Amino acid sequence: MKDNNRPVNLSRRNSLKFVAGAIGTGILAARLGADVAAPAPAIAQNDMSPDAALKQLMDGNKRFVDRKRTNPHQDLSRLTEVAKGQKPFAAILGCADSRFPSEIIFDQGFGDLFVCRVAGNVATAEEIGSLEFGTLLLGAKVLMVVGHENCGAVGATLKGAQVPGQIGSLVDSIKPAVESSKNQPGDHLENAVKANVLLQAKRLKASPVISKLIEDNKLKIVGGYYDLDTGAISIVADS
């Protein structure tokens, strides 16, 4: 398992070194920015503070829970509008679970959310790189890591299940969270899911790209826990 992960880790270190140096000189923004279509003013919706972006995200979830969805930005005019460029106000690192469709849960539409989904909502090198792009280049102001009730990936890790193929790489990424939460009172799976959210958020904050955005008050990272029964997102914080 360690041998399989070594090339990925090396690649991640090298890419982060390049990105960190590029930020200081402006090379990254200049080069990648040339490939990102300049958005029309109408879709520059992320000219807000990180706190305002988080409120907009949570307000959408409240509408979903209260069965008062407005289904914004989901018509044909919005589709053609964002074809010219994108400026999502929020980024999501969520589980690949079929019961977690971010745009529905947060009552958002085309161009609103920059979403990465992977089983166990783990922050792999590829997910981190994608979210660096979504925050640095596209300008998302809040990045939420969302775990959910009865997560299968976390549950398998908690049980110590023997898994085939590359599923083991997900388990390895989640194991530290399971270990850190095993002596906590309450539901063991829920505790492990929330600990995993905090662990993956910590890994994201270790990115020099993302940490610089946080330092400059251009980004906020928060953890979330999705209740499958009610549809509600609750904020997960360090105890």
Token pair for residue 66?
Answer: 């209260």
The parent domain of residue 88 ranges over 2-236
Domain count, the chain: 1
Sequence-distant (≥ 6) Cβ neighbours of residue 108 within 8 angstroms: 57, 60, 72, 73, 90, 102
Question: What is the C-alpha to C-alpha distance for residues 174 and 121, in angstroms, rounded to an integer?
Answer: 9
Q: How far apart are CA 75 and CA 228, in angstroms?
A: 27
Q: Are strands 90-94 and 142-148 parallel, antiparallel or unpaired?
A: parallel
pLDDT above 90 (res 45): no
Q: Is the pLDDT of residue 47 over 90?
A: no
CATH of the domain at 207: 3.40.1050.10
Quick: pLDDT tens for 190-232: 999 999 999 999 999 999 999 999 999 999 999 999 999 999 9
Long-range contacts of 186-191 (CB under 8 A, 24+ apart): 188/158, 189/150, 189/151, 189/154, 189/155, 189/158, 190/149, 190/225
- Tell me the pTM: 0.82
How much is the mean pLDDT over the chain?
87
pLDDT confidence bin for 9, thresholds 50/70/90: very low
For residue 146, give the nearest of 238, 239, 222, 52 by alpha carbon: 222
